[in-house]
Structure 1
Amino acid sequence: MQHPYRDSPQHSEADLHQYYDTPYGHGAPPGLTQDIPLVPQKYNGYGQPFAADSQANITGRDYPSGTILGAVGLLGLIGAGVALGIVLAKRSSASTSVGSSSSTSSSPSKSSSSDGPSSFTKDPALVQSFYGIAYTPEGSQLPDCGNSLDTVITDVQLLSQITTRIRLYGADCNQSELVLEAIAQTKVDMSVWLGNYIVATDNGTAYTRQRDVIKTAIQKYGVEHIGGVTVGNEFMLNYLTAAGATDLNGTVANTGAAILIDNIKDTRSMMSELGLSNISVGTSDAGAYFNTLVLESVDYGMANVHPWFADTTIQDAAAWTTRFFAETDVTAAAAVSNSPQMYIAETGWPSNSSDAASATNGAAAASEANLQIFMDTFVCQANANGTKYFFFSYQDEKWKDEQFGGVEGWWGLFHQNRTLKGVTIPTCT
């Protein structure tokens, strides 16, 4: 069984570091506890004064919505539970309810009048400054599927105050429909990139199940609020890591690429059958793991670019992110004839760690102060230079902290309870 790859600020990251040039191990030198290093470190690998000494990636912080460790054997049992009436039309009202995976709501929507979810109190601390936000509805992991429409409505109300775009990672636990229904009920300006998290070793079970529920969601809600359909999340990273391979365009990589490309082609066929060939189909992967054959097969690529895992100082983090994305991902896309649009799928900074050993990356600390610095030095600048990015992430995720520890559960702009952390969202002019 192939497990989803997990970046971890531990010394066990050798499989990923092996791909790059002379990375140094994660972990803080003794006594490095300040938010910003007293003496910024000098790096050598990139040959630039603000670059990390290696490209130690830069890979996705989120996990498959519905593919948790030990859960692959259960995947084939879930899909039939999502069966809703199909209406081939765009949704123009919220008159039809959507079934959720839980009968109760952990966070009911807050409406300011009897008009329902479309009328809600705006938080003056929230500013619509982010190009996009990476989002997974709470409770969207198999086999439990504890999400609910009320909770997703609350999330969409909050998200709409900081962005007009969100991306999902997978389609299990009915999350595609829940998000589209929440957008319909709140009537906010929001586009969503739907996701299909695929697994190389399950003979297409996860892909097919999620493809079918994505199709149902599109038939029910139309595509007015759909920015694209993303097939795969870190598929090539996972495939190469499992095989112990490093050549992005070698025989092993191309074998994995063929699996992913077949799924991409199948998704295109589905969209064509629906008369929606104009809807973009892409993939998401670690920033240094885009195979040429895959890039030639997509309309867009989404690259996870994380300065934390490149061991940068916080002062260097934003500039490093911009440079890596431009030199690695944008350049790779420009080299193929179809020139797919490239996005940063994830970038951000953790605000905490559940253990002291993981509290720094060796150069800077996981803290709200550093999250603030990264926002202040990246968000408005990226907007101004036209970088399309999805900030990682919407909220802290308890299940990741419980399962993986370290900084894994602490990447949100919002706490688990959906209150904004002790940061100020930058206002971009």
Structure 2
Amino acid sequence: MAQQQRYTPVPGMGPSGNSFIVLERLFLVLGVSPSLKPYATCPQRLSTPSSPPRASSLNSRSLSTSSYADPYATPDSTATAMPLMTEVAQPAAAFQSRHTNPSAHLPIPSENYYPISNEPTAFENVAAQQKARSKKRWFVIGGIILAVAAVVGIVVGVVVSQVNKSHNGNGSSSSNSSSGSTSSSGNGTLTIGSDPSTFQKDSRLHQVFWGFAYTPNDVQLPGCGATQANITKDIQLLSQLTTRLRLYGANCNQTALVMQAIQDTKVNMTIWPAIYVDSNEAAYTSQLEAIVDALKTYGVDMVEGITVGNEYILNTAGSDSTTSSAYTSALATIADKITQVNSTIQALGLSKNLPIGTSDAGSVMSKSLGEDVNYFMANVHPWFGALAINDAATWTYEFFQEFDVQVGAEASNNPAMYIAETGWPTQSSNSSESNDGAGSPQGDASVANLQTFLDTFVCQANANGTQYFYFEAFDEPWKDIYGGVEPWWGLFNFDRELKNVTIPTCN
């Protein structure tokens, strides 16, 4: 597309202006035959690179980065240096204008387009210059291609050399040092072709957590994109922090995938598989069948119990008391499911008896519920209790003791009691929910407050014998559909990178 005109006519100039007519009449009076030829209008620059057509309201940039703000910057929380205009891809010709054509802001001399005298100019031989530049450009491109080819050759040579050494037994001085992830995070992950049980350990991690709440990535219906490789990497990482995991459901074959990962990595890890319960009976049946298949395949050595439902009573009965009809109805439903699962598992004739329980809000525990389960997992979140971070750990312990442990002890079967979830979020998807109501900074969703919770809860819980599952292993961006802090409870981010915290060391 031809260079667009950046100029407007100066009033009075040009073949139709008053100045042209006056000159023509002057020549006639002097008796001179005029041979004036119309010429292009004199240029008047509309804008300069330091003052674009419109200023940006997004991503203000400092003068040290650029002399003007990019008028088409995308909203991004991290401002980056503005690319040269020649590096910006041009839009389709049909949509180009002086606002969208990147070349419109280049400092192009007007003589290129509007010669105003017969005198030679520095830009007269444009075609020759462009041809020379074209040749130079091709020489540069050729040089770059040769350089890249040389680098690729060197890399291939090194790889082949290392492979040959490995086959000859000369490259195995330290399997641990070469089998882990090469990522900057240093977290233990698989290396292609390696034994999953041999992986690089992260010196920042150690087994200090009683357990972790864990949801593998992409085990939501209908997607079911979870892979064995990803789950194996998760197990390698989490095994450095704990020996216990609780799951939330059995969709997408996640029970078998986790058990396979534990088997392959040979780590010391046990799990509580789970069945998510809602009104979808087909999904419930499918999950039960998946757990049965996993138990038949992998046995029960790495299984501690099976959890039926996660906050089913809370979601069904709401905030009603434990004596309301809604609560009684929800309790009857979950108790029936627990009985069904127990009967199915008992029929397998397994080598050990697996306890069956449920997980729900810590506030829904009752003596009646205790009578129907072998164990109860209570979600106890100081964040949702609007606690200041300095009070969070103590409150968590006291709430769990009063509303769950003591209530459960009233049941004749004395069910085991666990904290199913407790933790602290590190950010919010929207600013209106970035504080739990306790004021800033004590109630902020932040990494600093996460560190405080780790420092005050983990060792305290280990010392007083609280059996808990820390919530949670990884951030879950898919929960952003719920807004607020929902996606941001992970000790690690979605990419398995440890957040800026120090894992406590307990005596």
**TM-score, normalization by structure 1:** 0.72
Distance (whole Å) between structure 2 residues aligned to residue 272 and residue 246 of structure 1 = 34
Q: How do residues 24-423 of structure 1 correspond to structure 2 at under 5 angstroms?
A: 110-111=189-190, 116-199=195-278, 201-202=279-280, 204-241=281-318, 246-276=320-350, 278-363=353-438, 364-401=443-480, 403-423=481-501
Question: Per-residue deviation at 1:248?
Answer: 1.1
| Counterpart Cα distance in 1 of 2:368 and 2:282 | 23
Separation in structure 2 between the aligned mates of residue 249 and residue 261 of structure 1, nearest angstrom: 16
Label 1:112 to 1:210 Cα distance change in 2 as closer, same or farther (>3 A).
Answer: closer
- Could you tell me which amino acid in structure 2 is paired with residue 417 of structure 1? D
State the Cα distance separating 1:110 from its structure 2 match.
3.0
Deviation at 1:348, TM superposition (A): 0.1
C-alpha deviation, 1:275, in angstroms: 1.6
Residue deviations 1:111-132, cap 9 Å, x none? 4696510000000011110000
Instruction: Give 1:426's aligned residue.
Output: 504
**Greater helix percent: which structure?**
2
Number of aligned residues? 316
Question: Are the counterparts in 2 of residues 113 and 119 from structure 1 also a CA contact under 8 Å?
Answer: no
Higher RCO (C-alpha under 8 Å, 6+ residues apart) = 1
Shift of 1:297: 1.3
1:95 is matched with: none
- Kept after mapping to 1: 8 A contact 2:379/2:422: yes
Are 2:188 and 2:202, in contact at CA under 8 Å, matched by a contact in 1?
Answer: no
Q: Secondary structure at the match of 1:117?
A: coil
Matched residues in 1 for 2:367 and 2:408: separation? 8
2:305 aligns to what SS in structure 1? strand
Which residue does the alignment assign to 1:17? Answer: none
Equivalent pair of 2:427/2:445 in contact (CA under 8 Å): yes
Q: Is the 2:389–2:452 contact (alpha carbons within 8 Å) kept by the matching residues of 1?
A: yes
- The offset of 1:251, in angstroms, is 2.6
Distance 1:316 1:354, change over 3 A: same
* Aligned-residue offset at 1:207: 1.8
**3-state SS in 1 of match to 2:489:** coil
Q: Determine helix, strand or coil for the equivalent of 1:247.
A: coil
C-alpha displacement at 1:283, in angstroms?
0.4
Is residue 188–residue 201 contact of structure 2 (8 Å, CA) maintained in 1? no
How many Å separate the matches in 2 of 1:132 and 1:397?
Answer: 18
2-side partners of 1:152 and 1:232: how far apart?
Answer: 23
Rg comparison, structure with higher value: 2
Q: Structure 1, residues 384-407: CA drift from partner, whole Å, max 9, x if none?
A: 110000000001111012x11211
SS in 1 for 2:391: helix
Describe the SS at the equivalent of 2:364. coil
Structure 2, unmatched stretches of 5+, are 1-186
Give the Å deviation of 1:253.
1.6
Q: What CA RMSD, in Å, does the superposition of the two structures yield over aligned residues?
A: 1.5
> Per-residue deviation at 1:255?
1.7
Identity of aligned residues (%): 51
